[in-house]
Amino acid sequence: MALLEVEDLHVEFRTRDGVARVLNGVSYHVDAGETLAVLGESGSGKSVTAQAVMGILDSPPAFVTKGAVRFHDEDLLTMAAEARRETRASGIAMVFQDALSALNPVFTVGFQIEEQLRVRRGMSRADARKRAIELLDLVKIPHAAQRVREYPHQFSGGMRQRAMIAMSLALDPEVLIADEPTTALDVTVQAQIMDLLAEIQRDRKMGMILITHDLGVVAEVADRIAVMYAGRIVEQADAVTLFRSPGHPYTEALMASMPRLDQKGTELNTIKGLPPNLMRIPSGCPFHPRCARVQDVCRVDVPRQHNLGLGHSSACHFAEEVVGG
């Protein structure tokens, strides 16, 4: 049984300009101790899926119209509000993309960690402070006993991200969702943050969903990868299989766009065109206007998921041909 399972999830944003179909049947799962990377361009639906799992979509304009989110085989979407808040607090946690925006600027970092310990665990102020210092020390913030009294603006970008991770770990979650956790950080700090997450995950045997567009990060840490495009999962596979034998033209194009050391001085490959307007998703395969392998059927019929074996699936009419080269 999967620790967390998303099944056929549909989300739409109802706006004055029309209805944007942001998620269109997303399904994936993550097991204990496993890292699932959710990969795709901006606007593909990665973060919206995570927000739907956490129950933090703003409604309106966002509405979950179909699907299930199961944690330990219980559907979070049909739970009573208080039960879902309790599950979200203790079972699933999220590290947000922009730590400066996610942290409250008028409270110390320590207070923001301690608050959830006092409210959810009933700890005294002294015990919550002690645990907050332990958590800051766990995420390798120097002089944690002093820095627990400081405000977010007194932390560097990398240290704020570490503080966000400490907050997320405070209630010992079984699943951690990390939404672009290294955005706007320099390369050295990015590596430190990813190493930290991997170390903590190994120690706690958490399931982790890593949302990213960085193929380099994915190659280093992911066990399995789900590739998203226009609110759909277009391919899933273990990391080795996906990098070695992509089964969808979009995945193939993403791989080709990676800069390579052996191609110094050559022009970078790009994916032509732009992601679709989610209010006017193209008929058939949503990737067909940008696809180098497009054929007539792609413009008309929505492709089903093709099983390519050993947990590898692709939503392409010609998946076997793509894998074969």
264 pLDDT more than 80: no
| Residue 109 domain-assigned (yes or no) | no
Cα–Cα dist 3/286, whole Å: 30
220 pLDDT more than 90: no
Place of tokens 């894998």: 323
Picking from 58, 45, 40, 59, the residue whose alpha carbon sits closest to that of residue 218 is: 40
| Residue 28 domain-assigned (yes or no) | yes
Q: What is the domain count for the chain?
A: 1
For the domain that residue 35 is a member of, what is the CATH number?
3.40.50.300
| Owning domain of residue 304 | 4-91+206-323
pLDDT digits (tens, 9 = 90+) for 275-324: 999 999 999 999 999 999 999 999 999 999 999 998 999 999 999 988 87
| Residue 313 domain-assigned (yes or no) | yes
Q: Please, what sign has the CA dihedral across residues 39, 216, 313, 178? A: negative
Length of the chain: 325
pLDDT at residue 271, as a whole number: 92
| Residue 104 domain-assigned (yes or no) | no
| Residue 294 domain-assigned (yes or no) | yes
Helix (H, G, I), strand (E, B), or coil: what is residue 213?
coil
| Residue 181 domain-assigned (yes or no) | no
pLDDT digits (tens, 9 = 90+) for 36-53: 999 999 999 999 999 999
Picking from 35, 33, 4, the residue whose alpha carbon sits closest to that of residue 219 is: 35
pLDDT at residue 100, as a whole number: 86
